[in-house]
Amino acid sequence: MLKPSPAGDLAAYVFFSFGGLFMGGETGLLAASWAAQRSIAKDGESKERIERAFRRFRVDVLKREIASLEEGEKNSTPIDLFASGI
C-alpha cells in the first residue's frame, strides 16, 4: 500500500509546486510591501507627495461623481465614473 505510484508522484509534484508558488508569491508580496512602506516612511518629502497626489485623486473622483449626480445618473460609484472617463 505504501509503494510509490506514478499517480502519487504526479499529485505530489503538482500540489507541492502550486503550494510553493503560492507561498513564494505571498511571501514576496508581503516583503515588497513592507520594504516599500519603510522606504516611503523614511523619506518625509516623498510621503507628503504621495499623500497629496492621493488627495487630489480623491477630489477628482468626487468632482466627477458630483457632475454625474447633477446630470441625473443613478447608481453610479466613483469607480464607474473613473473608468468611464467622465
Say whether 15 sits in a helix, a strand or coil: helix
What is the residue type of 71?
E
The grid coordinates listed for 72 are 441625473
Strongest mean pLDDT among 31-35, 36-40, 76-80? 31-35
What's the chain's Rg over C-alpha atoms?
Answer: 24
The grid coordinates listed for 12 are 505530489
- Per-residue pLDDT of 59-84, as tens digits, reads 999 999 888 888 876 665 666 656 66
- Whether the CB-CB separation of 62 and 79 falls below 8 Å is answered with no
The grid coordinates listed for 17 are 509546486
User: What percent of the chain stands above pLDDT 90?
Assistant: 30
Residue 75 CA to residue 69 CA, distance in Å, equals: 9
